[in-house]
Structure 1
Amino acid sequence: MGTFSTACYAQHPAALAFAREIDAQESWTDGWAERWIRQAQRHPQVIRLMTPAPAGTPRNWNVYRDRFIEPRRLQAGLRFWREHEATLRRAEQEFGVPAWLIVGIIGVETLYGQHTGTFRALDALATLAFDFPAEHPRAEQRSAFFRSELQALLRLSREQGVPPTAWLGSYAGAMGLPQFMPSNWMRYGVDYDGDGHIDLLNSPADAIGSVARYLQAFGWQSGMPTHYPVEFDLDRLALDALLAPSILPTFDAQTMASKGVRLPSHGREHAGPLALVELENGDPARGGAPRTYVAGTQNFYVITRYNQSSYYAMAVIELGQAVEALWRQR
């Protein structure tokens, strides 16, 4: 996947071929896709931000956590909860998704709408569709994903009567308070304020309902914990085997115990599959702390369908529950 030299996609053969393919698929006889893809700009910063860190670079859960579980975000979350309490409760009752989780996601994603992104979504998606960094281990698959999202943005724009150049979002093309990708906006977006259209940019109610619907659709189970603390029985610990499935829940509580992972008493009664989740805390050889481990449930895995990162899921959980604790103290 070589990088095309021009700063825009007006003369990019693969981009123009894809645009014409979209027009044919969507029966857009006016050349809508080609017209707008010709206006997309290649964005070098998007490529830099999407380029993965060198292999072996340690992550640090404690540092990551501190970016989100901090006074400014906690107070903003408390204000958001107070202002939208009725809507949060309605979403919790309708979709079975707890208010604290909705609050946690919107807080981590955009600080309750304060940081929704400044990249033109058209540029970000076109750049990642046609110039995705080749260093990424799944470059081809990710490029295909962003081509599909570019098509979804064009469809969303046409349906809403908004020029594709008008949408602003993250460097990955996610938009609005909940940072939905265009396809998710169309698939899971909810008109939760009843004004006749789905507005995830300006309507907190629509964002709340849409996040709840998304999590419900991916299998959120009301009343199930997201994770359990663990202790290791070092004599029996089969760490490599437990970590092999990554965050996919694979083992029941009894199997985890046989492989050296002890759960609290209520965790031992958990009926569904579990995953051993590992969070690095920097490089131990350079003063980093020991790694953090928890047993993630199916609900933990559902949160990672929003962002496929265990660090993200834990930040969402801890922020949402910390805001809930403040709200209960009011």
Structure 2
Amino acid sequence: MTRRIAPQRARRALIAFALAAAAGATALPGPAAAQAQYRSCLSELRDQASRNNVSAATFDRALAGVEPDMSLLELLDRQPEFRTAIWDYIGGLVDEERVEDGRRAMAQYPNALAVAEERWGVDRHVIAAIWGVESNYGRNMGKRPLLQSLSTLACFGRRQSFFRGELFATLQILERGEIPVEQLTGSWAGAFGQTQFIPSTYQRIAVDFDGDGRRDIVGSTVDALGSTANYLARSNWQAGEPWGYEVRLPAGFSESRTGRRNKRALSDFASMGVTRIDGSRLTGPSQAAILAPSGTNGPAWIVFRNFDAIYSYNQAESYALAIALLSDRLAGRPGIQTPWPTNDPPLSREERREVQVQLLRRGYAIGEVDGIIGSKTREAIQDMQRRMGQEPTGRAGKLFLDALRAGG
């Protein structure tokens, strides 16, 4: 799969660091000790190179001059899929801007998407949605050098075994000359390319869809789209079946009946009083599950096995739901019909950029206006919230934006 986050699943990672820090212990070595540990680790890895189909020459050439990036260790347990309120997460990924950009992007590659859909049986709108969420349709593939990120995580932290495998997979890519080292940049956890494959997934799944003799998911959009379709097909995507759709839950519907793994016969949900959002009867594959990520008073969806195929790409229900909802919008279907259960609605990326502009005008040094609420923006929001008498959550919601617009 892909991922911007580690392997398709680098979920937890160094909570040991968080726990140690909370206990007042020294969780990370100082600069000198870190350098010594890193060099010792690289020496150990070099000894293992030949057993992992990497020559010593390739290892030395690729890692010459590479220094560890210790800031990565703080990112291991901070994936937004698991920490962000669902309405904020969806709001930032499925907004009008991404929908319109996606329709224009799809119009540039109609043949590639049509052939991919025919060859692998995967809905072209789902392929495009992954492309849109993972790299904003090829615009933002990540700037971190994979060799630095993966060598750091291979030598420090809790998931060293996993990241060592990804480091050797990256070196194998270089050994075969498939992608030049300067193009091997991406996420902090090693995902790269227009649809963000981790190196081992690239090796297993990537395809030469444009027929030029190279599997280039960085420079070739066609290869990236075909590789993504191949990934979903291998994840048991069922041609012609829906991923799911929004439903209306009856009063008193128990949350214990929700969850992607809590599958039942479609007829069981129908007998409980679950209907489509318009009140019509349920249709679709025989086995289904109900997702209600904000509780049974918020939006809910019935999902089928194609949702599980999307989920496999990044193993977070919120991520899979964002992909599914964006694919619906790209296909011309309506967005979410049921309001989120909050009095402080989420912001689109355009509105988040407006928040950042307002903060810059007030003298906060938050960096680039990009619509991404990073640590500097959150700290500035917290400070402004204190000044305005709001709870200092650091969250950019509608109430905060309205207060800024009012001159707060």
Q: TM-score, normalised by structure 1?
A: 0.80
Structure 2: give runs of 5+ residues left out of the alignment: 1-15, 17-26, 334-408
Distance in 1 (alpha carbons) for counterparts of 2:123 and 2:245: 18
Distance in 1 (alpha carbons) for counterparts of 2:244 and 2:273: 13
Residue 265 of structure 2 is aligned to residue 239 of structure 1: no
* Residue 46 of structure 1, aligned match among 72, 76, 95: 72
Deviates more, 1:122-131 or 1:262-271: 262-271
What is the letter of the counterpart of residue 113 of structure 1? G
* Residue 200 of structure 1, aligned match among 217, 229, 237: 217
Aligned match of 2:129: 104
Distance in 1 (alpha carbons) for counterparts of 2:122 and 2:168: 30
Go from structure 1 to structure 2 and tell me whether the alpha carbon gap of 1:310 and 1:40 turns closer, same or farther (over 3 Å shift).
same
Aligned residues: 302
Which has the greater radius of gyration?
Answer: 2
Aligned match of 2:323: 316
Say what the alpha-carbon RMSD is for the aligned residues.
3.0
Go from structure 1 to structure 2 and tell me whether the alpha carbon gap of 1:5 and 1:26 turns closer, same or farther (over 3 Å shift).
farther
| Per-residue deviation, 1:35 | 5.5
Distance in 2 (alpha carbons) for counterparts of 1:16 and 1:267: 60
* Residue 267 of structure 1, aligned match among 282, 287, 304: 282
Distance in 2 (alpha carbons) for counterparts of 1:38 and 1:21: 17
| SS at 1:303 equivalent | helix
- The answer as to whether partners of 1:9 and 1:37 remain within 8 angstroms in 2 is no
- What are the superposed Cα offsets for residues 245-269 of structure 1, whole Å, 9 maximum, x if unpaired? x5336332245567x5724465366
* Percent identity over paired residues: 27
Go from structure 1 to structure 2 and tell me whether the alpha carbon gap of 1:10 and 1:165 turns closer, same or farther (over 3 Å shift).
farther
Go from structure 1 to structure 2 and tell me whether the alpha carbon gap of 1:25 and 1:82 turns closer, same or farther (over 3 Å shift).
closer
| Per-residue deviation, 1:69 | 2.2
- The answer as to whether partners of 1:74 and 1:322 remain within 8 angstroms in 2 is yes
* Residue 150 of structure 1, aligned match among 150, 158, 167: 167
- The answer as to whether partners of 2:178 and 2:215 remain within 8 angstroms in 1 is no
* Residue 105 of structure 2, aligned match among 80, 88, 96: 80
What is the letter of the counterpart of residue 67 of structure 2? Q
| Per-residue deviation, 1:170 | 1.0
| Per-residue deviation, 1:190 | 1.1
* Residue 20 of structure 1, aligned match among 33, 36, 47: 47
Q: How does 1:131-146 map to 2 (within 5 A)?
A: 131-132=156-157, 140=158, 142-146=159-163
Q: TM-score, normalised by structure 2?
A: 0.66
Structure 1: give runs of 5+ residues left out of the alignment: 133-139, 282-288
| SS at 2:222 equivalent | helix
Distance in 1 (alpha carbons) for counterparts of 2:263 and 2:60: 45
- What are the superposed Cα offsets for residues 87-116 of structure 1, whole Å, 9 maximum, x if unpaired? 100000000001100110000111111100
